[in-house]
Structures are given as C-alpha cells and as structure tokens.
Homo-oligomer: A and B are copies of this chain.
Amino acid sequence: MSKPLILICNDDGITAPGIRALVEAVRDLGDCVVVAPDKPQSGMGHAITIGNPLRVYAQHGLFGDIPAYQTSGTPVDCVKLAVDQILHRKPDLLVSGINHGSNASINVIYSGTMSAAVEGGIEGIPSVGFSLCDYGLEADFALSLLIARRVAEAVLHHGLMPGTLLNVNIPRIDPVQFRGLKVARQAAAKWKENFEERRDPHGKAYYWMTGEFELMEEREDTDEWALRNGYASVVPVQFDLTAHHALTGLQDWGMQAWRLQDGF
C-alpha cells in the first residue's frame, strides 16, 4: 500500500516558521509536498488570480528531502496549482499553516490559511487549517506541532464528512496548562475598523487598516471560549454558505410572482 500523499500549504509564505513546524509535524505520516506562496499573503481570503499569470519555482532543499514549490499566487492559487500541475494524484490530506495568529471566529473569513483548506475541501481532499494565537516572530510552535501531528493522524484515520474541513486554533499558553482539544462552533464576532489616516510627503492622505476584535458572545460551545479557557479549538467548516434557516422566511416575500407582466 502506498503512503498517504500530503499537501502542505500556508499563507505566511514558504519561508515562515509556521510552515516549517507543520512540515515537521506531518513528515513521517506520508509522502509530503509543500506548495506555498513566495511572499506573505495574510488576509487574502479566498482570492484567486484571474487577470495575471502565475509563476511556480521548485525550492527543493528548503525542507530536507521533501519536494517544495513556491508560487507567485494566493494560498488558493497554490492549492489549484498543486492539484492540476504539481501533484500526479489527488492528495489524501491537505494541511495549511501553521498560521501566525488566530483564525478563530470571524477570522476564518479573511484568512488565506483557512481559504487554502477550504479550497482543499472543495476539491474533495480531507483538509485542516492550523493557527497559533501568537503573532510574535518568536512564537513557540512546540505545542502546535504536537497538536497538528495528532489531528493529521486522526483525519487520515477517520476521514471527514464530505463538504467539511477543520479549523484548528491553538492558544498561546504554557503547554503544561493545556487542557486538550475542544470541538466547537464559530463564535459570533466582528472587527471594528479604525483606519489610521496619514499624509504622504506630497500632502495626500492614505489609510492604514487597523481594528479591534469585538466578541459578540461568550458561550461555552464556541471556539473563542475554548481558546480563552486553555483548550485548542476544532471547528468543522463548510463551504455551502446557504443560510438554510432563512429560506422559509424569504419564500413569504412572494418573489416568484415578480414577472414583467406584473408591472415590473
């Protein structure tokens, strides 16, 4: 039986410490291939490159004997290039990260790391995104590495429900205080924007995006609660965005009758 094929991506770029930790975490679990952006792509969400061509360069040697490629594209582009151009069969597992910073709660929407995992899910590949809630350059990935390995093993063993993937966030915590992994749902939250206006040397305004995270609930079944209470959070994510609970209410609007002959 051939070993599992494992595709490793991220959004912080191929030279980020987090992807190095992720490679270490899963390298013994199968045949690994790294395909990652050539520069940081945080906050790229599910962006793809349509109006420009893409470059792909082999970077073998960056991760020992594991084949590695950097691309000029977004995290989602990396997954698409890997599936269509680089790999010769569908991967058995996609792991993305380890992201430098939280992708819990509403951050899942903006995250390139998670969008790579979502794209894997769309491709039918069991996929997991990992994030450490520590933006520091000196962040310690030791606990994250252990968790990533264990979760990757479990996904290879159990598989995932079709149409779903996992969003795993690891708290910034002393490992001896770590309480385990908690299955959770995405907490309701938003970022309150607060753009900082500056003037360029020519007197013209420009704006830096900053913001404050606004948590809108504290329920125990959420990822934010888990992370604030010593757990790593595991949220199953789907890419069917239909608000199924809103379908019935909309049907009451009578829109199906809006035709041209009705005074449209």
Q: Which residues of A contact B (CB under 8 A)?
A: 40, 42-51, 53-56, 74, 76-77, 80-81, 83-85, 106, 108-110, 115, 118, 122-124, 146-147, 150-151, 154, 158, 160-161, 163-164, 166-167, 175-176, 178-183, 185-186, 188, 190, 193-195, 197-198, 204-209, 231, 234-247, 249-251, 253, 255-260, 264
A209 to B195, CA, bound (A): 34
CB pair B258–A183 under 8 Å, yes or no, is: no
User: A206 touches which one: B53, B108, B178, B250 (CB < 8 A)?
Assistant: B53
Q: A115-B45, A206-B55 are in contact. Are A250 and B264 (CB under 8 A)?
A: no
This protein's copies in its complex: 2
Contacts of A74 in B (CB 8 A): 47
Q: A207-B54, A209-B48 are in contact. Are A240 and B186 (CB under 8 A)?
A: yes
CB pair A161–B246 under 8 Å, yes or no, is: yes
Contacts of A40 in B (CB 8 A): 51
